[in-house]
Amino acid sequence: MTEPYQYQPRHVEKNPAKEFRIGEGRISCYLSLTLSILSLLAVLAYLYPAYLTTAELRQVYDAEQLQLLLKYAMYFSLFFAALTFGLNKGKYKLYGLVAISLTLIGFALGGYNIPIGQVEPRELSLGVDWLILAFLGSVVIFMTLEKLFPKYRDQVITRPEWAVDMFYFCFNHLAISAILIFANYHASHFDWAVSPSVQSTVQAMPVWLQVILIILAADFVLYWEHRAYHEVKTLWPIHAVHHSVEHLDWLAGSRGHFVQVFSERAMVMIPLYLLGADESALNIYVTFAALQAILIHCNVDIPFGPLKTIFVTPQFHHWHHSSEKPAIDTNYSAHTVLFDRLFGTYHLPGNYWPAEYDTTVRLPRQIWGQTWYPIVRWKQRLGKKLP
């Protein structure tokens, strides 16, 4: 008889050198540098909106109101840089100097007074506006949740490999136009499957029912795409990049090979395209999906109560990232737990959380190595098959 698996608690070691403490200059240093980088990017986006902003997002926000936010960001960057100089005599002063320099460059380029006019529509651009707004929203919402309701209190913000995941976060948002072009192009190949009667029926539903239908349809597609990435040996090296994260938090979900990033968006676009739901329902779904995708990777311990029997939660998805034997190839769903229950891949052992993350075979830790990892693995497999 097989012995039941012995679940163990996860141990996160304290790292005082990486902690943010008031009065040391580290907090003000990071704030000033972050605000200066975001401010300069925003100034460039105002100068070259056709090349550095996304047409879809421009329809949502008020560019003039955001200039007021830019104004405060630039001045607070200078304030925090000055505070860094006053609090610290060491290396943080250099970062403070960089922050001041970047902010002054932003002022020299026009700062928050750049005139706003008509934007020439371009099919392909860099999503600098999407990057800035997504970063600010993620920090305000999810980093706050992680500090108020931490699962692992000793896990620091700048945990190991956070810079690697920040690169993926930036890439995924800057490439949003290219991702949408590819996804729409992919969906257009399913014109033959469009049913006007089905779309009319969907559009006649209340918006809330359309949203539920979209969630279930998208979840079904994402479940099987996700499962294929795990169980088809040729695809696994691509998805393994996402699973190479060893410390989960709001930023960890950004890690993913660009092939998976593009394919995942393309696949989920198919049910959205075929259903033909109202724009309001699609917007609600996109917002829900974006927030949930970040939340389920967060370092949070929030009691979801009965909702955990319906929706994918952090505990559920953390088990998907576990390298422990009972959790391998489980919990594929993105939105609800329905399809994992239906197809026998559900794993949620009571109140236990994973003790270990990462893949069973450790991947390269650098971005370049992770990008080339699938090719390396395919060559190794091919070499074994050759006489």
Residue 70 has pLDDT above 70, yes or no: yes
Which is nearest to 332 in space by CA: 340, 324, 322?
340
DSSP-derived 3-state class of residue 290: helix
pLDDT more than 90, % of the chain: 83
Stronger pLDDT, 92 or 191, i.e. the higher one? 191
Is-contact 242 256, C-beta < 8 A?
A: yes
Alpha-carbon Rg for the chain in angstroms = 23
- Rounded to whole angstroms, the Cα distance separating 333 from 226 reads 8
Q: How many Å separate Cα 137 from the centre of its chain?
A: 12
What local confidence, expressed as pLDDT, does residue 274 receive? 96
- Rounded to whole angstroms, the Cα distance separating 293 from 290 reads 5
Which residues lie below 8 Å from residue 298, measured CB to CB, with a gap of 6+?
Answer: 142, 145, 146, 248, 249, 250, 314
- Rounded to whole angstroms, the Cα distance separating 159 from 124 reads 34
What mean pLDDT is reported for the chain? 93
- Rounded to whole angstroms, the Cα distance separating 259 from 188 reads 19
What local confidence, expressed as pLDDT, does residue 262 receive? 95
- Rounded to whole angstroms, the Cα distance separating 204 from 372 reads 48
What pTM did the predictor assign? 0.94
What local confidence, expressed as pLDDT, does residue 89 receive? 62
pLDDT one-digit tens code per residue, 315-340: 999 999 999 999 999 999 999 999 99
What local confidence, expressed as pLDDT, does residue 385 receive? 61
What local confidence, expressed as pLDDT, does residue 17 receive? 85
pLDDT one-digit tens code per residue, 276-299: 999 999 999 999 999 999 999 999
Burial label, 79 (beta-carbon count in 10 A; 0-12, 13-18, 19+): middle
For range 29-50, the mean pLDDT: 96
- Categorize the per-residue pLDDT at 57 as very low, low, confident or very high, splitting at 50, 70 and 90: confident
Reported residue count of the chain is 387
For range 57-71, the mean pLDDT: 93
- Categorize the per-residue pLDDT at 2 as very low, low, confident or very high, splitting at 50, 70 and 90: low
DSSP-derived 3-state class of residue 160: coil
Which is nearest to 44 in space by CA: 104, 121, 95, 110?
110
For range 107-114, the mean pLDDT: 97
H or E segment and range at residue 332? none
pLDDT one-digit tens code per residue, 224-259: 999 999 999 999 999 999 999 999 999 999 999 999
Angle subtended by helix axes 236-243 and 258-275, to nearest 10: 100
Residue 77 has pLDDT above 80, yes or no: yes
Lowest mean pLDDT among 87-101, 166-180, 231-245, 305-319: 87-101
Nearest 5°: phi and psi at 22?
-65, 135
Structure tokens, 325: 């034997």
Residue 383 has pLDDT above 90, yes or no: no
What local confidence, expressed as pLDDT, does residue 196 receive? 95
3-state SS record for 207-224: HHHHHHHHHHHHHHHHHH
